[in-house]
Amino acid sequence: MAVFVLVHGGGHGGWCYQFVARRLRAEGHEVYTPSLTGLAEREHLLSPDIDLDMQITDVVKLLHFEDLRDVILVGHSYGGMVITGVADRAADRIDHLVYLDAANPVNGQSLVDVAGPLMLLARQMGRVVDGVELVLFPGNDPMSFYGVTDPDLIEWMKPKLTPHPWKCFEQKLVLDNEDALWAIPRSHIICTSTIDGRDIEALKATSDGRVWDIDTGHDLMITEPEAVTGYLLKIAAL
């Protein structure tokens, strides 16, 4: 049995992994899908203090309080920033890192550094609410960036999406335990449409060639849960 911790991306919550988590549990695996502070069912905790560091701490605390070890830690999109920080702080608890169409940062980078044009566009459409700068507002049709086209999935997602504090995307990642972090095996599951914007050879060099792509939109855990689960099971069997 493997232990999976699935970390969501911007504007989402643990709910976005329902289809994948259900399949992994059916195979006998232990699965955690935390929602980061200020998002989804934790949106009532929104405050000016929420940043990348706090959301990294969310997951580190989960690992410690649930006493999770040998974890396969998965991060989608912005979640790549989070899981990299988590692995830096809790390398002894992580067995494998999986970047799910995710940011793949190095020390000193923010998500704005990694994906500047997209994030700056999101900021232009943001707003300040109760002293907190927020981006990724659901709006009337939030699916263009997430790559979801199925009407039923769109209706399922719309009431669950929540705006995300901009500070999380602007804050730079600080790594203090890089030798242990970069020693953790890693894999990349990406969308075919994002290949052109990635250095695939560099990703393969740091993951023993484990770079797989799925021809779907950015929210691949929602649009292609069977394929995502298949790759996660392959990783668990390594």
Catalytic residues: 77
Angle between helices 18-26 and 225-236 (to 10 degrees): 50
Are 125 and 137 a contacting pair, CB within 8 Å?
yes
Give dist(CA 101, CA 50) in Å, integer. Answer: 24
Of the CA atoms within 13 Å of residue 116, those in its CB half-sphere come to 2
Give dist(CA 235, CA 178) in Å, integer. Answer: 23
Give dist(CA 53, CA 92) in Å, integer. Answer: 19
